[in-house]
A and B are shown apart, each in its own frame.
Chain A
């Protein structure tokens, strides 16, 4: 089973700042089968990025994904007030099971 580690656990930033979130896998993720989700309190997760770098439908271009192998990054170029949330990565290259990372909380500084 591939284990995902996300860092940092919490990221405290101000609106307008750049956020860089990391997701590291215990083994190489085949075909860059890695996704990123955003979850706000009381809501279901929302798909942001799939295939490591493809934005999902309706996702603003301030969200971007990059990486391959074992190291992946989600970047939010300029934080908007609605971006403060928890972000999870998921690998689906080696399954079952697909696995999620523990999450990174982006909160307001």
Chain B
């Protein structure tokens, strides 16, 4: 059974750093892309970026480039999303999701999702 299990909820202060995780199981972790999606309170879905754990190829939305870092450790089948200096506007639910390869290497739709990690940033 394919599963993506995310780390637990976090409460942080502005300016603090944070790294949240997403552990994949039940499939070959290095052969699928893992993406991150933000959902601010009461709002829609925003595509943040994606990584291919097989070679660490990473792509970012221009809206999130420089604001977050996506990484992966294929030895433990885990992807990460990190911030170096959180802002109150980073308060949101963050989902990781798996994307199959399309036409050889391209990423695409998200077929499995993690349960979400709620990040709250407040002074």
Contact = CB atoms under 8 A, between A and B. Distances in A.
Contacts, number: 72
Q: Interface size bucket, A side?
A: 20 to 34
Q: Which of B49, B109, B114 has the most CB of A within 10 A?
A: B109
Q: Interface size bucket, B side?
A: 20 to 34
Given A47-B110, A50-B108, A33 B47 contact: no
Given A97-B47, A97-B62, A45 B109 contact: no
A98 B35 CA distance: 10
Contacts of A37: 45, 110
B58 to A, nearest CB: 10
A99 interface: yes
A44 B114 contact: yes
B49 A47 contact: no
Nearest to A44: B113
Interface of A: 1, 33, 35, 37, 39, 44-47, 50-51, 56-57, 88, 90, 92, 95-103
